[in-house]
């Protein structure tokens, strides 16, 4: 243990079991520790460093913006915000974007869109969001409630109500949701990342999409792990030929800067109005 590791252990919350390696620099796919030893960053910072370490175009763009203004509140317009929203909409066919700071926060926005859309269109008793067993949707209490893995839930009861977890690939469980009158949305990862890198079958994703379309249930896709080019397409759902109502993305979208985004289709683009959601 060196001084930095001891300092980290003393002052950083003990939520991470870190390897005994202190990273000091990197370039491309390589990271270096204090002794100059190189490591291949196969984890890409858990799907964050999509451009690699120190990508020149990314770095120049970030530094150029830092030299202008690093942050304004959402009370004002800025060029990067408008341009990124336009680019995301043009490349996905979605209509509106809400920007936040992380994947969990992108999903929180998706949950709010689903709840409000369902309340507006199907009544106040329609709020259940269905997710898949073995899924992972983040660490905020509501994203944790959406996550279909019991061991994440145990220490944090009671969870946010209104989530139901069904077995992936099981059409009986999907159709047992019935006519969808109390189901607001189904949220899936096309490839379950934290759950073991398990791709959903084409037939299952299409069946979920068809069920959602038939019953006015929102199809929501969590692309936090799979998105931004990591699946061969810009977003993994594009490999399945389906059109989601809501897409959440983060991680590689910022390539190391904290950014998340909730993309909303034409159908739900105006669900959130002034004051319904926000972040600094």
Ligand X SMILES: Cc1ncc(COP(=O)(O)O)c(C=O)c1O
- 116 backbone dihedrals φ, ψ, rounded to 5°: -75, -40
Does an H or E element contain 117, and which? helix 103-122
Stretch that binds ligand X, among 51-59, 176-184, 189-197, 204-212 (CB under 6 A): 189-197
Q: Minimal distance in Å, beta carbon 179 to ligand X?
A: 29
Tell me if 116 contacts ligand X by CB under 6 A.
no
Q: Please, which of residues 3-22 interact with ligand X by CB under 6 A?
A: none
Q: Minimal distance in Å, beta carbon 151 to ligand X?
A: 16
* C-beta nearest to ligand X: residue: 103
- Which x/- pattern over 210-239 shows residues binding ligand X (rule: CB under 6 A)? ------------x-xx--------------
Q: What tokens appear for 64 in the block?
A: 């150029």
Tell me if 138 contacts ligand X by CB under 6 A.
yes
Tell me if 194 contacts ligand X by CB under 6 A.
yes
Supply the DSSP symbol for 35.
T
Give the strand pairing for 191-192 and 198-199: antiparallel
Positive or negative torsion for Cα 61, 67, 68, 69: positive
Identity of the residue, 194 or 216, whose beta carbon is nearer to ligand X in the bound complex: 194
- Which x/- pattern over 21-50 shows residues binding ligand X (rule: CB under 6 A)? -------------------------x----
Tell me if 137 contacts ligand X by CB under 6 A.
yes
- Which x/- pattern over 83-112 shows residues binding ligand X (rule: CB under 6 A)? -------------------xxx--x-----
> Is the omega angle on the peptide bond into residue 118 within 30 degrees of 0, that is, cis?
no
219: which strand partners? 186
Tell me if 184 contacts ligand X by CB under 6 A.
no
Q: Minimal distance in Å, beta carbon 225 to ligand X?
A: 4
Cα–Cα distance, 162 to 184 (Å, whole number): 10
Identity of the residue, 48 or 264, whose beta carbon is nearer to ligand X in the bound complex: 48
Tell me if 265 contacts ligand X by CB under 6 A.
no
Q: What is the DSSP string of 165-209?
A: EE-TT-HHHHHTTTT-TTEEEEEE-SEETTTTSEEPPHHHHHHHH
99: which strand partners? 261
Q: How far is CA 37 from the centre of its chain?
A: 33
Q: What is the DSSP string of 125-146?
A: T--EEEEETT----SSHHHHHH
Identity of the residue, 102 or 228, whose beta carbon is nearer to ligand X in the bound complex: 102
Contact footprint for ligand X (CB under 6 A): 46, 102-104, 107, 136-138, 189, 193-194, 222, 224-225, 250-251
């Amino acid at each position: 243990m060196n001084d930095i590791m001891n300092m980290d252990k003393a002052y950083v919350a003990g939520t991470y079991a870190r390897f005994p390696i202190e990273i000091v620099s990197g370039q491309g796919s390589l990271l270096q520790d204090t002794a100059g030893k190189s490591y291949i960053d196969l984890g890409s910072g858990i799907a964050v460093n999509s451009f690699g370490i120190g990508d020149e175009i990314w770095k120049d763009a970030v530094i150029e913006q830092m030299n202008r203004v690093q942050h304004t509140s959402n009370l004002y317009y800025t060029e990067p915000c408008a341009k990124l929203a336009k680019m995301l909409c043009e490349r996905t066919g979605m209509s509106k974007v809400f920007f936040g700071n992380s994947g969990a926060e992108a999903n929180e926005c998706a949950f709010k869109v689903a709840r409000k859309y369902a309340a507006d269109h199907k009544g106040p008793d329609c709020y259940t969001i269905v997710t898949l067993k073995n899924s992972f949707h983040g660490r905020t209490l509501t994203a944790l409630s959406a996550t279909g893995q019991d061991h994440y839930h145990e220490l944090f009861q009671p969870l946010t109500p209104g989530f139901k977890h069904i077995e992936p690939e099981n059409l009986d469980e999907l159709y047992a949701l019935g006519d969808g009158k109390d189901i607001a949305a189904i949220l899936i990862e096309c490839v379950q990342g934290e759950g073991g890198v398990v791709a959903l079958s084409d037939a299952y994703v299409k069946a979920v999409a068809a069920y959602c379309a038939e019953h006015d249930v929102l199809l929501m896709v969590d692309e936090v792990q799979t998105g931004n080019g990591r699946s061969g397409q810009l977003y993994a759902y594009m490999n399945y030929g389906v059109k989601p109502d809501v897409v959440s993305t983060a991680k590689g979208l910022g390539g190391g800067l904290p950014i998340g985004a909730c993309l909303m289709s034409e159908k739900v683009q105006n669900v959130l109005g002034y004051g319904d959601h926000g972040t600094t």
